[in-house]
Each structure stands twice: as C-alpha cells, then as structure tokens.
Structure 1
Amino acid sequence: MSSIVDVNLSLDSALFLDLDGTLADLSPDRNSIRIPPATERNLLEIFDSLSGAVAIVSGRDIDDLAIRVPEALWRIGNHGAFVLAPGESGRTFPSLIDPAIIDDVKRRCAELGLDLEVKKTSIAIHYRSTPELESASHGLLARYAGQDSEYLLEAGKMVAELKVRNVGKGKAIEERMRQAPFAGRLPLFLGDDVTDEDAYPVINRLGGVSIKVGAPPSLATTFASSPAEVRQWLEQQAAALHTL
C-alpha cells in the first residue's frame, strides 16, 4: 500500500482535490467547513506552478462551493455536473431535480426532523448529528431511486444522497483532462468518500495517482491518513515546485 508521503508533484502534473474530508476536516456543522488560510495559499502557489491545472472537485452545490474556494482556482461542484473556471463568478446553473420530489422530501424531512440539503443535481440528508436517523434517511430517499429511475441513491459519510444519474467526479475529471490547462498532464486526485470512488479508475487509467484519505478498501492506489496529512503534503509540494 503506497503512502502520500511517497508522491511528488512535477511541473507536468494536474491536481484535483475533494473538499470535505480531504482538504478540510469533517464537522457536524457542514456550513462551518472551510479550507484553512495557509492551505489556500499553498493551493494558489501550486496553481501558479502548474500553469492553472488545479481544481477542487466536490459534491457540494456549485454556489456553495464557490464561497468556500478561492475564485482563482477551478471549482467543479455537484459531483462534477457544473464547472466554474478561474475568475468566473455570477453564473447561474439550473436545477436537475424534479420540483415535486423536492417538495415531498422537504415535507417528510420536516416531519422527521431530518437535516436536508437540496442541491441542483441531488438531495442529501445528513445524519452526522443524529446517527439514529440513518435508516430513516436512506428509506425516505430510496422510494425515488431504482433501476428504472433517473435517480440513484448513494451512501456517503453520514449522508444519504439521491443523485441524478450519469453525473460523477470521474466523468468530470476525464472531461477536464481533454482540455487546457489539464490536457497532456499526469493527473492526481485526492478524495475520501464513496462518491470519490468513480474517479480513481479514471486517474489510474490515465497513468496518474489516485489517493484516498482514509483506509482501504478503495479503488485508489495510494493513501493518506487524514486531511491534516494532506495539508502538510500540499505545503511541502508548494515549496518543492518553486525549486523546479
């Protein structure tokens, strides 16, 4: 099993990173999660060294992601569905979830006291603060998912999420890798959750390095112990790239 400490960026790397649980520590209050200022500076330094080939790829709604990530970076939200280029802001993205489903889930969540997050391509119920509601959370959303449905149900870290099909981080990264400034580079992707697993085979096939924050099992080839280790690694890589 390879460790992130054995991985080094080069000037022809392309870096993709998840936010929650990868760059920033998880918290019961998802609204409090931010990238630490020192890590933001390291990311911007790496962005300059890699000629702009750095992207944050998150399941967060693109509007939410935009307020948590420096505007100078690529921001890919909604599990890869929507992209903001460096410097881009104020763009409007459509919701892909049936409004009737949103209204029904909102009503049921209010009745059960569930923590609901409505995004443009998914509906997520968080139960980190109420783990006893795990079964109720998954059961509520399961009625809308199925083999013949346009939605699928995924289980993440203390979250049940109903997602639009054919949206994923792997697909989004593959699309970026066909375009400047990512094309022709060796990709690295760092993630931590079930929703990151579809990206690892893409990275592996492209000859890059797939890194999971956490323990196996995973389709990733390399592992980091915690977001703190990721942040330390980024600090080291930012400094090392300056010498190349």
Structure 2
Amino acid sequence: MESRDVPLTEGGLPLPPSPAPDWALFLDVDGCLLDFAQHPSQVVVPVHLQRDIVRLSDLLGGALALVSGRSLESIDEMFGELRALPAAGMHGLERREPDGRRTFPPIAPQALDGVYAEARQLAMSHPGAIIERKGPNLALHWRAAPEARDALRAFAAAALRVLPDYRAQGGDMVLELRPGGSSPDKGTAVEGFMAQAPFRGRTPVFVGDDLTDEHAFSIVNACEGFSVLVGDRHPSAARWRLPNPAAVRDWLARATLGAHDGVHA
C-alpha cells in the first residue's frame, strides 16, 4: 500500500487513492472536513458536504464514521443529515455505535467548575482567547489570540494540580484538559468501530489534521490501512496527504461522482 508511483504532494507524501469498496472510512471534522474559524461555533458546513458523506457511506455499506474532538451534540448540530451515522466525540470519550447505542463520557469532577471559571477570567485578559467546556473536557483556544498561548499553557499546568486524574492534550492552537489514565482517544475509537459490523474486516482509513489524530494514524498503519494527513504538520505517522480541507471535500465528492464504477472516482 506504500507505492510511491503516485503523485506526491508538496509535503512529500503521496496523494491517497480514491475510496475503495472495502474501506472503512473515518473522518475528522475541524481542519479536515471543515476549514477552521476563529471560534468553533463559526465554522461553515458547505451545502454539498453532507450529501456527499451520506452517499459515500451508502457506497461503503455504512462503514463511515466521524471522529472528532467536538461533542456528539455539536457534531449533530452542524451535520443534521448525518445524525444516523456512527460517530465518536470528545476524542473518543463518547461514541454513537452503528446500531445507535451511545457510549457516554465520564462525569466531570466538581473541581472542573472552578477551573472553568478561572479560565474564563484569564481569557478576559486576552481578547480572542476562547474557553470551551465539553462535558468533562476543557479546551483552551488561542487561534484568535496567539499572544495568549503561554498564559493558557501555564494555566493548564497549574490546573492539573487540582485535577490530578487529568492530562493536557495538545492540538492545533488549543490545549485540552481531559481525563487521563487509560481514557479513550481517537485510536481506541477506531479500534472500537473496527471490531463490529459494518466496519469489521475492512481496510481502515483515517483522515485528519491534528496531533490528536496521531493515535488513529498509528492504529490504521498497524492494520495496513491508509493514514491521511490534512495539511503539512510535521512530524506525523501519516503516510498519505491531502493539502487542505477543500482538497478533502473534493476527494470525497469525486468518489461519489464515480459511483457508477463501484466507488472509485
């Protein structure tokens, strides 16, 4: 699966092949399907994207899932037509299984309320910084306030002293406080889906852009699947690449247009 007799992107990794009928396809959301916005609530879902995802899911026999750092509630608010699809939210802390069953995240410790309040106070000193509460997770964003990065990182380090069972997970201009230990991640989410129909026995493919997607890339590589990085972040375990979310959307759209030839575009 690693033939280099294919077009290379500027990042040196090959472009992924068109989706095949035996794939199990896992798609990150922000920075992958959707372009980033200054605030997570401001992202725009292109009108054709949901249609293309539904069609591709049908072509893959339902073996398509969204795997995101967002909550399932947030995913469903953005992708109303995809509420029946399997999905993992909060980096795998919650899941909607193919049969509709839900896995819920753990209850947040009471101490997180105080940390959240203090984080919001800190953000007021850095216009553009965003504090996002996601169940038991707390995300500190500085995309619209790059100068707030060091202050938010220092705050996160201090917060871990009152949240001893938590860890800090880095991302693209964000640091997320989340339950630590053996808590799920995007890699375990992929493993969970691959253990059941309609994903079982298929070739796993994960498309993502962020550090949090590396867990999934490693799992997919171990299964001889396709790990597809969106963007040019280095280093990465990904072995294939698409340059940006627009290229991802075009890749998906071309696959659905080629449906009369199987799944290949």
TM-score (normalised: structure 2): 0.84
Q: CA deviation at 1:86?
A: 5.9
Q: 1:3 to 1:92 in 2, by over 3 A?
A: closer
Matched, 1:188 2:199: no
Q: CA RMSD in A?
A: 2.1
Q: CA deviation at 1:138?
A: 1.2
Partner of 2:109: 98
Q: Which runs of 5+ in 2 are unaligned?
A: 1-11
Partner of 1:140: 155
Equivalent residue in structure 1 for 2:42, among 27, 32, 39 = 32
Structure 1 contact 95–119 (Cα < 8 Å) conserved: no
Matched, 1:162 2:177: yes
Equivalent residue in structure 1 for 2:68, among 54, 58, 62 = 58
Partner of 1:43: 53
Equivalent residue in structure 2 for 1:219, among 234, 237, 250 = 237
User: Is the partner of 1:14 in helix, strand or coil?
Assistant: strand
Q: After alignment, is 196-205 or 97-106 more displaced?
A: 97-106
Matched, 1:8 2:18: yes
Q: Distance in 2 between matches of 1:124 and 1:111?
A: 13
Q: 1:196 to 1:230 in 2, by over 3 A?
A: same
Structure 1 contact 66–75 (Cα < 8 Å) conserved: no
Q: CA deviation at 1:47?
A: 0.5
Deviations 1:81-137 (A, max 9, x none): 111246859x79455331222323323422441421111241101111111111111
Partner of 1:75: 87
User: Is the partner of 1:7 in helix, strand or coil?
Assistant: coil
What is the one-letter code of the residue matched to 2:261?
T
Q: Which runs of 5+ in 1 are unaligned?
A: none
Q: Distance in 1 between matches of 2:239 and 2:160?
A: 31
Q: CA deviation at 1:187?
A: 0.8
Deviations 1:22-72 (A, max 9, x none): 000001021022431212111111100111011010001221112122213
Structure 2 contact 96–103 (Cα < 8 Å) conserved: no
Q: Distance in 2 between matches of 1:104 and 1:204?
A: 37
Structure 1 contact 214–225 (Cα < 8 Å) conserved: yes
- 5 Å-filtered alignment, 1:123-134, equals 123-134=138-149
Question: How many residues are paired up?
Answer: 241
Q: Distance in 2 between matches of 1:193 and 1:144?
A: 23
Equivalent residue in structure 1 for 2:247, among 212, 229, 235 = 229
Q: After alignment, is 234-243 or 197-206 more displaced?
A: 234-243
Identity %: 34
Q: Distance in 1 between matches of 2:152 and 2:194?
A: 36
